[in-house]
């Protein structure tokens, strides 16, 4: 397990850039907490008026470079997706993260998020990478319930 | 105050096979003894030999094996008790220090529910004193007591440099203080607390004094009587012993008074359908089949510690710890939690690296073979108090060397550059 597999330059850049950082009031934020390190992340998914597509991700939180970069990369790659598309996307991301190095994210499907593939070899860090995604899925459920 | 010679260190290290492991292609530098210490081969060998040849039920049956097991168990208790300056019947075996504290806390809850025995029974408005430096294990059980009884938690402050004073404890005491819970050494700060003075205040107020001695138990002479406390708790796995066993030490008087918490076989004399009589301590707190192999392994680990010499180990770790502190404090943009001015420290230092999250610090160190602890170290309130969320910790054991410290300090100095902060 090479450290550079984990910390690709894209990840270090997104840890600083943090696309989507900053929460606006309203919506249905989901607060997630990682009890092993105390990291926290709050994220709100904004949907189009008809509830079909993801207009924006807004998030704030503190945590390691993996958790911050994962939130930022998700924002960059998944904004504008349909809800159904995002659900599949998140499922694929989770499967790869939990694969212990056996499933790599393809650049074709996941773009810069493919840089997070290495995380799956570092079992202790999978939670960090998933924090924003768990929040997004949760916020999505809350948001869609409000539309029904 | 001096470190082991290279020859002494080599002999000690040869007894700990895990030290010859490699991590990420580097020889392991184990700096997480404060979480769990490594195991000496001699103790593990004896433990497995015992399990293979002498396994039998303790305190039951008349066959020879059972009698031998019972004797070995009693001997183990006696030798662990001797190590900490206790009498064997003052030493209750538990799963770990956390369970030890919970046993006392549960006894307080049970007594409070029926209003007796008076010493253990709390009423609404009574006060429990803890400190800002406590591990969650010495905080949350008391929060539960407070919730169940209506008692109030009072928190003694540490200074910005992490120091706990007896005055700070005194300032939150009142005539309602019923319990004082304090650690001998914080697992984050590594600073030795003035436990004797604090215990004296607590006992003078008629409070039950509980000392969490986890972090001093194998890093110097632990003399349970020296604190002047009612209870002292510690865990075997921080003393070169196995996981799964720890102890609750209590004075003879307090253990006699303390109500039973868990009940069942092995802790009774007469049993009828409607009531039973209990054995005296420690048996009344140890229902069921005991931790036989673990007790044997723990006792043997401590025999090994004694063979090296508790004072020699303490001197080694203190001298090396001072070097480690000096090495870490010199690295730019690294902030140490807690001072080394005017306090006694054990070989432990926690710190933050500006701009780099502890998880990332720990991952980088791991890539250089260094096992450090990262996170909140089960002390979230203390981290909050010191203005950080989490930290990275280096802690030493008898097998640590100046090479370990040099490698760790060198790796730490490179962390910021790796993450583009340097
Ligand atoms: C100061 C302190 N108290 C309590 C504990 C809890 O010990 P255990 O997990 O063995 O019960 C620890 C160890 O993490 C500790 O460092």
- Report the C-alpha gap between A78 and A93 in whole angstroms: 12
Does residue B74 share a domain with residue B16? no
Both B201 and B60 in a single domain?
yes
Band the pLDDT of A1: cuts 50, 70, 90. Answer: low
Q: Are residues B332 and B199 in the same domain?
A: no
Whether A8 is covered by a domain: the verdict is yes
CATH of the domain at A85: 3.90.1010.10
Q: Which CATH number goes with the domain that contains B342?
A: 3.90.1150.10
A64·B357 Cβ contact <8 A: yes
CATH number for position B192: 3.40.640.10
- pLDDT-derived band at A5 (thresholds 50, 70, 90) equals confident
Distance B245 CA to ligand 1 centre (A): 12
Section B219-226 average pLDDT: 93
Say yes or no to pLDDT of A115 above 70: yes
Residues B325 and B409 in one domain: yes
CA closest to A123 among chain B residues: B363
Residues B276 and B323 in one domain: no
Q: Please, what is the angle between helix A126-147 and helix A83-97, to 10°?
A: 160
Residue of B356, B376, B419 with shortest CB distance to A38: B376
Same domain, B273 and B321: no
B380 → chain A, closest CA residue: A38
User: Under an 8 A CB cutoff, do A38 and B357 touch?
Assistant: no
Mean pLDDT along residues B118-128: 98
Q: Which atom of ligand 1 is nearest to the CA of B185?
A: 1
The answer on B51 and B22 residing in a single domain is no
Check CB contact of B5 with chain A, cutoff 8 Å. no
- Within 8 A of B388 by CB-CB distance, chain A residues are none
In the listed set B266, B285, B305, which residue is the last one of a domain according to the structure? B305
| Number of neighbours of residue A30 by Cβ within 10 angstroms | 22
* Mean pLDDT in residue range B416-422: 89
Chain B residues with CB inside 8 Å of A34's CB?
none
Domain range for B280 is 47-305
Span from the CA of B183 to the centroid of ligand 1 (angstroms): 10
pLDDT the model gives residue A146:
86
The stretch B196-209 carries a mean pLDDT of 98
Q: What DSSP state is assigned to residue B264?
A: S
pLDDT over threshold 80, residue B275: yes
For residue A148, being part of any structural domain is answered with: no
What average pLDDT does this structure show over B138-144?
A: 98
B102 lines ligand 1 (CB under 6 A): no
Contacts 24+ apart (CB under 8 A), B76-83: B76/B295, B76/B296, B76/B298, B76/B299, B77/B282, B77/B295, B77/B299, B79/B299, B79/B302, B79/B303, B80/B247, B80/B295, B80/B298, B80/B299, B80/B302, B83/B222, B83/B302, B83/B305, B83/B306
Residue A80 has a pLDDT of 97
Binding-face residues of A in 82-141 toward B, CB within 8 A? 122, 125, 128
Closest residue of chain B to A61, computed from CA coordinates: B389
B325 secondary structure, DSSP code: H
Report CB contact under 8 Å: B418, A7: yes
Q: How far is A4 from chain B (nearest CA, A)?
A: 10
Over residues B366-390, the mean pLDDT reads: 92
Quote the ipTM score: 0.88
Q: Which helix (H) or strand (E) holds A67?
A: helix A65-78
Contact partners, residue A65, CB within 8 Å, separation at least 6: A7, A11, A12, A15, B356, B357, B359, B360, B419
Position A91 in a domain: yes
**Chain B residues within an 8 Å CB radius of A39:** 357, 359, 389-390
pLDDT above 70 coverage of chain B, percent: 100
Do B340 and B218 fall within a single domain?
no
* Whole-angstrom distance, CA of residue B139 vs CA of residue B130: 7
Q: Whose Cα sits closest to atom 7 in ligand 1?
A: B97
Give domain status of residue B40, yes or no: no
- When CB atoms are compared, the residue of A6, A36, A122 closest to B375 is A36
Would you name the residues of B annotated as active-site residues?
378
- Calculate mean pLDDT across residues B44-62: 86
CB-defined contacts A:B, below 8 A: 50
Predicted confidence band at B11 (pLDDT cuts at 50, 70, 90)? very high
- What pLDDT is attached to residue A36? 75
With contacts defined as CB-CB under 8 Å, which chain B residues touch A62? 389
For a pocket test of ligand 1, which of B35, B97, B133, B211 has the largest count of ligand atoms closer than 8 A to its C-beta?
A: B97
Alpha carbon distance B395, B37 (integer Å): 10
Pocket test for ligand 1, best of B378, B379, B381 (most atoms within 8 A of CB): B378
* pLDDT mean over B240-250: 98
Residue B33, Cβ neighbours under 10 Å: how many? 24
Check residue B144 and give its pLDDT. Answer: 98
Residue B55 has pLDDT above 90, yes or no: no
Residue A41 lies in a domain: yes
How many angstroms does the Cα of residue B378 sit away from the middle of ligand 1? 8
B184 lines ligand 1 (CB under 6 A): no
Q: Is A94 within the bounds of a domain?
A: yes
Where does a domain end: B264, B285, B305? B305
Q: Per residue in A43-99, pLDDT tens?
A: 999 999 999 999 999 999 999 999 999 999 999 999 999 999 999 999 999 999 999
Whether residue B190 sits in one domain with residue B66: yes
Q: Do B24 and A3 touch (CB under 8 A)?
A: yes
| Contact with chain A for residue B385, Cβ under 8 A | no
B280 and B360 belong to one structural domain: no
Q: Which of B281, B305, B329 is the last residue of a domain?
A: B305
Closest atom, ligand 1, to C-alpha of B95? 11
The total number of structural domains that make up chain A:
1
The whole-angstrom distance between A1's CA and the closest CA on chain B is 7
Does residue B88 register a pLDDT over 80?
yes
Q: How far is the CA of A147 from the CAs of A26, A144, B59, in angstroms?
A: 14, 5, 66
pTM assigned to the model: 0.93
My answer on whether B296 and B321 are in the same domain is no
Residue span of the structural domain in which A17 resides: 3-143
Q: For residue B190, name the pLDDT band (cuts at 50, 70, 90).
A: very high
**Residue B422 — very low, low, confident or very high, per pLDDT cuts 50/70/90?**
confident
- How many domains is chain B built from? 2
Residue B1 lies in a domain: no
Residue B97 domain flag = yes
| Distance of alpha carbon B91 from alpha carbon B233, whole angstroms | 10
Interface contact flag, B363 A1, Cβ < 8 Å: no
Question: What's the confidence (pLDDT) of residue B1?
Answer: 61
pLDDT greater than 90 at residue B57: no
Q: Which two tokens stand for residue B77?
A: 């208790």
Query: Does B237 map to a domain?
Result: yes
Interface test with chain B among A3, A18, A40, A66, by most B beta carbons within 10 Å: A3
Interface check B380 vs A, CB under 8 A: yes
* B214 alpha carbon – ligand 1 mean position (Å): 6
Question: CB-hemisphere CA count at 13 Å for B257?
Answer: 17
The reply to whether B254 and B395 lie within a common domain is no
Chain A: residue whose CA lies nearest to B389: A38
For B135, the token pair is: 């591990």
Give residue-wise pLDDT tens across range B289-343: 999 999 999 999 999 999 999 999 999 999 999 999 999 999 999 999 998 888 8
At B54, the pLDDT band (50, 70, 90 cuts) reads confident
């Amino acid at each position: 397990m090479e450290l550079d597999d984990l910390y690709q330059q894209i990840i270090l850049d997104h840890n600083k850039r943090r696309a989507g950082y900053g929460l606006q009031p309203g919506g249905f934020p989901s607060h997630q907490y990682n009890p092993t390190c105390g990291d926290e992340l709050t994220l709100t998914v904004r949907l189009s008026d008809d509830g079909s597509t993801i207009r924006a991700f807004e998030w704030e939180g503190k945590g390691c470079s993996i958790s911050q970069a994962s939130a930022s990369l998700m924002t960059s790659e998944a904004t504008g997706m349909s809800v159904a598309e995002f659900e599949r996307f998140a499922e694929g991301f989770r499967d790869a993260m939990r694969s212990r190095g056996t499933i790599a994210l393809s650049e074709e499907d996941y773009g810069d998020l493919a840089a997070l593939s290495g995380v799956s070899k570092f079992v202790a860090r999978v939670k960090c990478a998933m924090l924003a995604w768990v929040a997004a899925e949760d916020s999505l459920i809350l948001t869609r319930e409000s539309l029904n | 105050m001096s470190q082991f010679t290279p020859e002494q260190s080599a002999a000690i290290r040869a007894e700990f096979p895990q030290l010859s492991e490699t991590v990420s292609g580097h020889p392991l530098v184990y700096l997480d003894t404060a979480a769990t210490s490594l195991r000496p081969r001699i103790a593990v060998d004896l433990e497995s030999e015992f399990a293979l040849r002498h396994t039998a039920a303790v305190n039951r049956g008349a066959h020879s094996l059972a009698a031998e097991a019972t004797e070995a168990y009693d001997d183990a208790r006696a030798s662990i008790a001797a190590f900490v300056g206790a009498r064997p019947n003052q030493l209750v075996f538990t799963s770990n220090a956390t369970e030890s504290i919970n046993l006392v806390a549960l006894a307080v809850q049970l007594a409070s529910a029926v209003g007796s025995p008076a010493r253990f029974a709390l009423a609404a408005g009574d006060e429990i004193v803890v400190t800002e430096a406590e591990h969650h294990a010495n905080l949350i059980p008391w929060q539960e007591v407070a919730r169940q009884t209506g008692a109030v938690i009072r928190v003694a402050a540490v200074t910005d440099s992490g120091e706990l004073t007896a005055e700070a404890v005194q300032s939150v005491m009142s005539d309602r203080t019923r319990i004082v819970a304090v650690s001998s050494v914080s697992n984050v700060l590594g600073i030795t607390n003035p436990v004797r003075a604090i215990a004296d205040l607590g006992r003078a107020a008629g409070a039950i004094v509980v000392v969490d001695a986890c972090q001093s138990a194998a890093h110097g002479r632990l003399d349970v009587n020296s604190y002047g406390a009612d209870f002292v708790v510690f865990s075997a796995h921080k003393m070169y012993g196995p996981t799964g066993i720890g102890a609750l030490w209590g004075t003879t008087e307090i253990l006699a008074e303390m109500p039973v918490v868990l009940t069942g076989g092995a802790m009774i004399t007469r049993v009828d359908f409607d009531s039973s009589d209990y054995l005296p301590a420690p048996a009344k707190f140890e229902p069921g089949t005991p931790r036989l192999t673990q007790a044997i392994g723990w006792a043997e680990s401590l025999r090994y510690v004694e063979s090296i010499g508790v004072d020699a180990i303490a001197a080694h770790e203190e001298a090396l710890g001072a070097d480690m502190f000096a090495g870490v404090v010199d690295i730019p943009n690294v902030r140490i939690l807690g001072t080394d001015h005017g306090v006694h420290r054990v070989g432990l230092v926690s710190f933050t690296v500006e701009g780099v999250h502890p998880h990332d610090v720990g991952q980088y160190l791991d890539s250089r073979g260094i096992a450090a602890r990262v996170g909140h170290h089960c002390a979230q309130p203390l981290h909050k108090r010191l203005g950080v969320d989490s930290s990275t910790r280096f802690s030493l054991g008898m097998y640590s060397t100046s090479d370990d410290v040099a490698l760790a300090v060198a790796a730490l100095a490179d962390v910021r550059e790796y993450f583009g902060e340097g």
